[in-house]
Every structure is written in structure tokens, then in C-alpha cells.
Structure 1
Amino acid sequence: MHLCSPVRQRLLESRWSKWFIALALMQVIVTIPILIVTLVKVETSLTMQEPQTDIKEYLRDKVVRVRIENIWFIIYELWKLWLVIDGILQANSLTVIASAAFTCFSGALGIMQIIESVKWDNSIAVNLYLQIAMTSAVWIIAIPTSFVAFMLFKDYGWNLVERIDMYYTVQCFTLMIKIDIFFEVLLLVFYAVCANMNKSLWGAATALAILSLISLFVGRKAIADEKHWMMSLFSLFQGAIIFVNLAVMVVVTDPTDVWYTLSIYACASIVIVIFTLYMAVRCQRNFGRGLQPHVNWSLYRKPSKTSSTTATGDHNQQQQRHGNHHHRNNRPRQQHNSNDHSISMPPPAPPPHHNDHNNNYNPLRQNLLDNNNSNNNNGNNEDDPPISSTTSSTQVPPSIFTEYYRLNDQSKR
């Protein structure tokens, strides 16, 4: 319960965050059922070819392609939904912009599926119509998603700059690691599924997927601990991922029957890995320059007190900025209410002495009353604190001074 309340508050913090999540859910609701229906129709209506030992012949089978494409499209949509939620929870404008860009990538994947269906002579016409409808819906959703992402960027942009200042490269690197979860780890699993008929290739792709997942943790830990050898190891493995993608495009792809979905996955992975390497080098150059306290991270322990304090301070500053205007508007009403409930002491009775001693305290009483009236007149200025905002214990009533002068006069007599 304690965890769900802050998460829900952050997800529903503003109307733009609500719209952004709603559009992401709408895309998932539209795409996943269509992908499942397409997969079921192909599996029930058509039969696969005889098992092949050659990977090119195996992947040339259209039923195999449709099966792999649809399953991986579903996984991609779920991963993108997670990226949207993470961007909202972290109030990270970079993640928000990236998730909006991947909405357009979903539309590109839909276009690739349409091309594959058009090339397929035995393609089911219903599936082609469903794919066209799905792709059109994705591109329609991409338009408001881009606008809402821009509005969230304006809301989160100041928090981003205020929080990380000169270390914005760390935020970019962290975002690239989240993107690499799909375009490295899951893509290598995708390659392993494609090579399931060849045990050696399947084993190599599976091992690379596990090593890729470990390397992402190593890269994140290298940034937190400022370890050059860990970052160098991470960069070396990123170069290996580029080589694997190039090898898949050269060895697996059949020039006479290009599998466009596989090609677009591999090309996107190469571009993302290159950008990850670039951000890793930039972060490594900042080692030893005060970077470590701002990016302390561990998989097995709680965040550092410095990081949590910084995040709490940023959240409090954001709430203060949002509530500042509301506070100024409500201040006159608060002053009025506090004046209504303030307790004013009655004027003191004259002391039981001759009237000559009244001269000792009457000027003081008159000065206190004049000061009280002047403070009440200045209370309309919202920049000055109202006199009624202080407690009665801090306001010295005139009777105390009166009693003091009376007793003092008695002692002199």
C-alpha cells in the first residue's frame, strides 16, 4: 500500500501523464489482439514445410516468419509500455521522448509486415487487412503521442536539467541501457529462436543473450563505481554485438528473399549499440570529476542517502513551484481567518495609585497600540508576514509592561 500510493500519484500527476499512459495502453490494446488473431489464422490455415537443416531454407518458410514476427511484435509492445511507465515514474524527459519515438518504430514494423504479406502468394487476405488496420491505427496514435510527449518534455525538462546538470550524459547512458534490454538481450533471444533447428547456432545465440544481460549490469555498475576496466569490458562486448548483427545480416539473410523484419531489427540494434558506445565513452571521460555521488547505484542495496535526498529535494521543489501560485491566491483568506481567531487582550485597568504614576505607562501603551495599528495596515501586503500569524505566546500584551512600571514605581517609593 505504501508503494502503490506514490506510484499512482506519479502516474496520475498531471493530465499529460494520464494521456501519455492512456495512449500507450490504447496502442497495446489495438496491436496485441490483431497480432494474436493473425498468428492463429496462419497457424490453423497453413502448414509448415518439412523440417530443414539449412537456416536459410528454414527462415524462407512464411509460416515461420509470421510466427516469429508476431510473437516478437507482442514482446516489443510490452517492452515499450514498460518504457512509457518508467519514463513517467522517473519524470525523465529523455525516456518520454524515446518511448514516443518507438511508437513510430512500431508503425515501421507494421509496414514491414504488410510488405511481407504482399510478397507472400499464399497470404490470407484477412490478415493483410488486419495488418493494414493495425499499422494505420499505430500511426494515428503516434500523432497525439508525439504532442503529449512534447508537453511532458516541457514539464520534466526543467527537473532533468536541475537534477543532473552537467551529468546529463549519465541519464542518456542509463536510457540506452533500458533500450538495450530489447535491442540486445531480447534480440539475441530472437536470433536463438530463429536458429532453433541448428543446435550450435542456438547455443551460441543463447549464451550471447545471457552475456549481454550481464554486460548491461556491468556497464551500469561501472558508471556508479567509476571503474575503467568494467567500462572497457562493457564497450568491448558492445563491439561484439555489432559484429553479431552484421554476421546475421550477411549469413542468414537470403538476397533472393529478404526478410525485412529481421533486417530492420538488426539495423536498429547496430545504430543503438553505436550510440550506447558513444555515451559510454563520454561518461568514462567524466570519471574522477565528481560524477560518482550523483549516480550511486547497486542491485542489492538501497539507494544512497545522497541520491534519495536529492530526489526528495527535487520533488519538494516541484511541489513548491506548483503550489506557489495557489498559496499566493489563498494568502489574503488565510490572513482574514487568522485575524478572526486571534485573541486580543483587553486594555489593562489603571493601577490603584494616584494619577501621577499613569504618566509612566500611558505613553508606552499608546506606542504599542500605534504599532499594532500600523502592522494591521501593512498586513495587506502579501510579501510581509501577517501579524496575526504569530502565536499569542510571542506577542507581549501591554498589561505586562504596565504591571512592570507600576511595580517599579512602588519599589522606588
Structure 2
Amino acid sequence: MYLPNSRWTWAFMLVTFFQCIISLALEGYVFGKFQASLNDGARSQGDTPAPSSALTIPTYLALFIFGFIYELVLVWDALRLKNTIQVIGVCVYNAGMLVYAAVEMTQVDEALKTLSSLPNAVDEGTWHDLRPWLIAAPCVIALGTVLLSFIAWKLYDEFAWTIYKHISADLRLKRRYLTYQVYIALLKFDFFFFLGFTVQFLVVVPNTSKIEFWLTVAALPITIVLLFLAAYFTRRESYVGQSFILFIYCVGMAYFVFKLVRMYDADYHRVDEYRPARRSLTLFAVLTLIALVVTMVVACVCMRNFNKGLKPHIQKRAVPSAEELKYSNYGPDQFSAQHMQLGDVPGRMTID
């Protein structure tokens, strides 16, 4: 499906694209400079793995690459579906990337100090060379966040009228649809936070047991399937399915609390292995926990809205465009109880 043809839609997409290109160019330069500064003491030697501090910047680069590509997908998806909540969520997501880029500075500084204490590990003056580029990265993202927030405000007004004509003047139904939009957007952001934590854990933390390693790898495709099921059960208004998903959210929260406790437990024998990436791991774990709590609350609200007339409106994922509303069968008659086979919709519009 094509994007809505408006200047603010394309402005939002282009700002995201150019921010992605510039940020990745900066991160790529930092990665190349860092790798060139490493000596034999910071590289793997036979059966001896490289120090975990040497993996800090490659991990950051990998996450930034995925993070910005995923943001482009989220932006395209939000504009295609005219999901105003997801558009606002992209601005919050971008602010999160700004925090992550700011955390990268201190994390790289600590990693270089650790490597400097090792014999023949890293060239002197590496931090001095990298510091300007590490400062530039959050500045670019900060500018992008400001521009995206302004355009999102314009898009909110633009999409509001189309959604009004799609849902009708029933304010209670509009609130239920808004809750559904919030929930779908949260599912997409939950995936990124979980993946960000998992990638860092697998790459930076050494000496992970084979069982724990493969269980963590297997959790990635399982998470994707569960997120799709979460959206499916909500659209189908399945009480049994939604209850199962709520149980999975509780399991996920317990997992991240367990990981946070382990990272800061002084009595745990592997606590030092978490130290090179502990700050960014903590950031992702806390953000994932917050996102899971909010997602669980919104999922409960969505379940409370089951069988109240919303189901026919969310079977078609994208909101019809103005042209579709004008020249097709979209309109009040299409969603009336006598014409809609997917479920009953209140025939009487209410204003409260």
C-alpha cells in the first residue's frame, strides 16, 4: 500500500531517512577508527577470546544499524496505516535512540580505559580521536527528534479527520479505536527493546553457557510469533488468546527483573562479565520492563472493549484514505449492523 500523498507525510519520511544516513555514517567512522586502534592485546588469540570491552563499539554499531532501519520500517508502517499513535511513538523512539547515543559516549570511554590497562591492547589517544564524532551523533539525533516532533504535530491534524470519517462520531468507539492503536504500536516497540537487550547480552557478555545461549537465541523467533499472536487475538477479540498473552507478559517481566538483579548482584560470580555493557543493558532492560507494564495495562483495556462494536473497524488494518472514502463504499451504511457481517456495530451514534 502506498503512502498518503501529502507534504507532511513525505517530510516525516525524508527526515527519518536522512537522520538514518548521517547517524550511520558517524557510527561507521567511529567503528572503523576504533577497530584500527586495536592491537594484538585486544584481539582473540587462538582459544582465548577478545576482551569484552573490545566488542562494545561493534555491538553499538550493530544496534544502531538495526535501530534506524527498524525506525524507517516503523515510519512507513505508521504513515501507511495512518496510525497517529505510532507516529507519536516514533518520536519517543527517536528520543530513546538519542539517550542510547549519549550513553554510548560513557560506555566507550570506560571500554577504552579498560583496554588501556591491558598490555598492547589499544593505541594511545584513541578516545581523543573518537570523542568529537561521539558527540556529533546525539546532536544529529536531537535535531531529528525536534523536526520529527513538529511534523508529527502536523500529521496528527491531517490524520484526525480521516479517522473521524472512518470510525464515525461515536466518541466511545473512537476511544476504543485509539486504545487499539496504542496497543498495536506498543507491540512493535516492545520487539525492538527486547531484541536490543538480547543482542548485547549474546555479543558482549562472555562465557555464557550453551544452554542459556541457545535459549536466548530461540527466544527471538518465539517473541516475533507471540507479538503477531497478540495483535491477532486482539483483532479477533479472543478472551482465551488475550489471557494467554497477558501471562506471557508476566513471564517476560520476570525474566528482565531476573537479569537486572544478576547484573548488579555482587555475590554473583559472573557480575564482572556484565560490566562492559552493564549501562546499556540496564537501559534496555528498564525500557523493556516499562514497555511491558504499559503494554499489559493497555491489553487489559483492549480486552475490556471486546464485543462493543470495534471489531468490524479493525479488520481492515489501514484507515481508508480520503479518496477511498470519497469514491468507494466506505461510509456510515457500510458499518451499520444490517450490512456488516463481521460483527454488530451500534446503529445509534452517541455524543458524550
- The partner residue of 2:185 within 175, 178, 188 is 175
1:25 CA displacement: 0.9
Q: Aligned to 2:154, which of 151, 154, 174?
A: 151
Q: What is the aligned counterpart of 1:204 among 215, 221, 224? A: 215
Aligned partner of 1:259 among 275, 278, 284? 278
Aligned counterpart in structure 2 of residue 30 of structure 1, from 22, 27, 35:
22
Q: Which moved more, 1:179-188 or 1:89-98?
A: 179-188
CA distance in 1, matches of 2:321, 2:130: 53
Q: Secondary structure at the match of 2:306?
A: coil
1:76–1:182: 8 Å Cα contact kept in structure 2?
yes
The structure having more radius of gyration, on CA atoms, is 1
AA of the residue aligned to 2:137: M
Point out where structure 2 has 5 or more consecutive residues left out of the alignment: 117-125, 168-173, 265-270, 329-352
Task: Report the CA distance between 1:16 and its aligned residue.
Answer: 1.3
Q: 1:300-324: CA deviations, max 9, x gaps?
A: xxxxxxx38x94475444799xxxx
Amino acid corresponding to residue 244 of structure 1 in structure 2: Y
In structure 1, which of residues 3, 15, 18 is the aligned counterpart of residue 10 of structure 2? 18
Which runs of structure 2 are paired with 1:177-326 in the superposition (5 Å)? 177-185=187-195, 187-195=197-205, 197-198=207-208, 199-252=210-263, 254=271, 259-296=278-315, 307=316, 311-312=319-320, 315-317=323-325
Aligned partner of 2:346 in structure 1 is none
- 1:289 partner SS: coil
Residues 371-391 of structure 1 show CA distances to partners (whole Å, capped at 9, x for unaligned) of xxxxxxxxxxxxxxxxxxxxx
How many Å apart are 1:22 and its aligned residue? 1.5
Aligned letter for 2:10? K
Q: Deviations over 1:297-347 (max 9, x none)?
A: xxxxxxxxxx38x94475444799xxxxxxxxxxxxxxxxxxxxxxxxxxx
Shift of 1:195: 5.0
TM-score normalised over the length of structure 2? 0.75
Counterparts in 2 of 1:203 and 1:313: CA distance versus 1, 3 Å: closer
TM superposition score normalised by structure 1: 0.65
Partners in 1 of 2:10 and 2:215 — Cα distance?
A: 43
Conserved? CA contact 2:242–2:303, under 8 Å: yes
Greater RCO between the two (CA within 8 Å, min separation 6)?
2
- Partners of 1:102 and 1:59 in 2: CA distance: 32
Alpha-carbon spacing, 1:39–1:257, altered in 2? closer, same or farther (3 Å) = closer
**Partner residue in 2 for 1:402:** none
In the alignment, is the contact (CA less than 8 A) between 1:59 and 1:65 conserved in 2? no
Give the CA deviation at 1:292.
2.3
Aligned ranges for residues 49-128 of structure 1 at < 5 Å? Answer: 61-119=52-110, 120-121=112-113, 122=116, 123-128=126-131
| 1:75 maps to amino acid | F
**Offset from partner CA, 1:201-233 (integer Å, 9 cap, x none):** 211211222221121121111112222121111
State the alpha-carbon separation in 2 of the partners of residues 81 and 225 from structure 1. 28
| Aligned counterpart in structure 2 of residue 40 of structure 1, from 13, 18, 32 | 32
Percent identity of equivalent pairs: 18
* Conservation of the 8 A alpha-carbon contact between 2:87 and 2:152: yes
Paired residues, number: 298
Report the CA distance between 1:125 and its aligned residue. Answer: 2.3
CA distance in 2, matches of 1:281, 1:288: 14
